[in-house]
Amino acid sequence: MERILSAIKPTGKLTLGNYIGALSHFKDFQDQGESFIFIADLHALTLPIEPEDLRNNSRDIAAFYIASGLDPKKTTMFLQSSVSAHAELNAIVQNYLYMGELKRMTQFKDKCSKMADTAIGMGIFAYPVLMAADILLYEATEVPVGEDQAQHVELCRDLVRRFNHRYGEILKLPKAVVPTVGARIMSLTDPTKKMSKSDPKGDIFLHDDPRAMRKKIMGAKTDMGPTVTLDPQEKPGIANLLTIYAALDRIPLEEAAHRFDGYRYGDFKKAVADKLDEVMIPFKARYQEIVDSGSYLDVLRDGARKARAVANKTLHKVQEAVGLLTL
Ligand code: TYM
């Protein structure tokens, strides 16, 4: 049976990129095996964040998980910091990954290339180690993520091979599962840049109201030529909007391109904004109900209990393998 694991870190307001690349897929996995979806709050500490923001963002993600269709009976949802085995396994596996490997991580380079060494915390450098520990604790076979996280999962695979070569078949080899449409949603103001939690103009935030979302879609940067065709090289802005439409409508990109072939940009953008309304309005209504009821707190408490049992078992196995006395 498959074991599915993924997470989102509560560093800022969730974006349409997070929704399309990750969140909206999680529910598809919960019928395929045992699924563990958590809030990566320890990871959120790797860059400065106000305690109140961290708390609010964490609650927010829990409510978004449930609103997206994750069912606590099928998916174990929890806070990373509620399961101490994450930090304990991290302390062990950090010895099997190397500085050179971590320095090569694209996300680290993007985030820290312009920062002085004295300003780069150890946590952000060693981030993929903790992420590997996250994955390994639950013996995950499938890790649904957007494209930017696939390199970290690859590193985790290297770690597993290295560790198992030394100690025998202890760790499970995971694989990243990247969506075929929408693995990398780009900024609406600059379609050569990834949509990220820190770009208020080019991002659509799940918290934006429908009017703001529509305004951002209608104002999205488009390309030369008056009508729609799928050409990611020459028309990256249109390709990004076609991707957003296809992902939200759950159709292949080519089908979306066919549907809007020859449309004028304004009419096409209106169709994308309408599709976004169709998906987001009921999703956010469910989110609001969950926030108002506070029901996510019990889900997280319950989830932490189940997660601890699974994680501690793996931790114990690893401790024994490396020679720690487990008394
Ligand atoms: P995070 O919080 O940066 O992003 C959460 C998920 O959203 C995806 N994503 C995108 N997908 C498409 N287009 C975009 N523009 C876009 N932006 C973000 C990300 O790929 C991710 O799947 N390290 C992880 C959290 C994590 C984790 C884990 C994930 C911690 N431990 C173990 C999987 C397994 C992160 O920072 O994701």
> For the segment 193-243, what is each residue's pLDDT rounded down to a tens digit?
999 877 777 899 999 999 999 999 999 998 888 899 999 999 999 999 999
User: Quick one: which of 109, 131, 112 has its CA closest to 121?
Assistant: 112
Residue 7 Cα to ligand 1 middle (Å): 7
> Please, what sign has the CA dihedral across residues 106, 236, 22, 8?
positive
User: What pLDDT is stored for residue 115 in this prediction?
Assistant: 86
- What is the C-alpha to C-alpha distance for residues 138 and 136, in angstroms, rounded to an integer? 5
User: What pLDDT is stored for residue 30 in this prediction?
Assistant: 94
Residue 21 Cα to ligand 1 middle (Å): 8
Average pLDDT of the residues of the chain: 96
Q: Three-state SS for 269?
A: helix
User: What pLDDT is stored for residue 26 in this prediction?
Assistant: 97
Pocket of ligand 1 (CB under 6 A): 5-9, 17-18, 20-22, 40, 43, 131, 134-135, 143, 145-146, 148-149, 183-185, 194-195
Catalytic residues: 111, 194, 197
Q: 16-33, pLDDT tens digit by residue?
A: 999 999 999 999 999 999
- What is the C-alpha to C-alpha distance for residues 85 and 90, in angstroms, rounded to an integer? 8
Mean predicted confidence (pLDDT) in 315-325: 98
- Output the residue whose Cα is nearest ligand 1's atom 5: 8
- What is the C-alpha to C-alpha distance for residues 314 and 308, in angstroms, rounded to an integer? 10
Length of the chain, in residues: 327
Mean predicted confidence (pLDDT) in 135-160: 98
Mean predicted confidence (pLDDT) in 37-53: 96
pTM for the model: 0.97
User: What pLDDT is stored for residue 111 in this prediction?
Assistant: 86
